[in-house]
Amino acid sequence: MFNYQIIIEYVGTNFVGWQIQKNGSSIQSIIQKVLSKVLKSKIKISGSGRTDAGVHANGQSASFFFKDKIKDKYKFLSSVNFFLKKKSISITKINKKKLNFHARHSVKKKIYKYIILNRLTRSPIYENRSWLIKKKLDINMMKKGINFFLGTHDFSSMRAASCSSKSPYRTITKAEIKKKKDKIIIIFESKSFLQKQVRSMIGCLKYVGEKKWKPEKIKSVIRLKKRQNCAPPAPPYGLYLEKVFY
């Protein structure tokens, strides 16, 4: 038996999310079907974590067991991507791992990226790939506000009601904002995130950038631990799972 890790890119616009669900097409289900077809064996994959409907990935990670050694990686990638090309999904790498490797349980940290397009007009290139905000955002205020997310906190105010995580505590090890012309790029790094946590943090930063909130308001929202105090979460289509570290 061999254990393999695959790195996956996808546009999440037309999917119900990563995880297999009854109410629509998921990235996980499509990849499993294609792998099973190419390898001529029933394959089950485990992802590094869920991404919600509409969320994209540049570096999602998944693992699976297969009875035989995959000798020709180029042929494997060419074959699976032939069947995936119409689905806006691509497997970019395959790595043989030790048998105890698990795409989710072995994770040390993840990086999520969010793109805000801050201009008056829509972009056909970034349609469904960014959040268009027409009102000018104060980037300096947002940079002050984002620092309040750093460290270990109870993020109860920024988790979805349907979140199944046992603990609301998460540790944010990196939180930064960059501006490139009319794009605002926001980066968060942590071992794991609560459901809708990143989008909720982005929503709070938008309020700060619009000067609806002072940067210090974020600190009190976290401290109060109540969802109703949080800003509305940002839409999913600006969010990317950028990289998973092991």
Q: What is the pLDDT of residue 22?
A: 85
Q: What is the pLDDT of residue 23?
A: 86
**Does 2-97 match 112-185+194-245 in CATH topology?**
yes
Over residues 62-91, the mean pLDDT reads: 96
Q: For the segment 183-230, what is each residue's pLDDT rounded down to a tens digit?
A: 999 999 999 999 999 999 999 999 999 999 999 999 999 999 999 999
CATH entry, 2-97, from 1.10.240.10, 3.60.20.10, 3.30.70.580, 3.40.50.1100: 3.30.70.580
Over residues 42-52, the mean pLDDT reads: 95
CA angle at 55 for the pair 170 and 127, rounded to the nearest 5°: 135
Residue with tokens 């750093």: 150
Q: What is the pLDDT of residue 28?
A: 97
Over residues 4-9, the mean pLDDT reads: 98
Instruction: Please give the class, per CATH, of domain 112-185+194-245.
Output: alpha beta
| Tokens linked to 171 | 């540790």
Q: What percent of the chain has pLDDT over 70?
A: 100
Give me the residue spans of the domains in the chain. Answer: 2-97, 112-185+194-245
Catalytic residues: 52
CA distance 15 to 47: 15
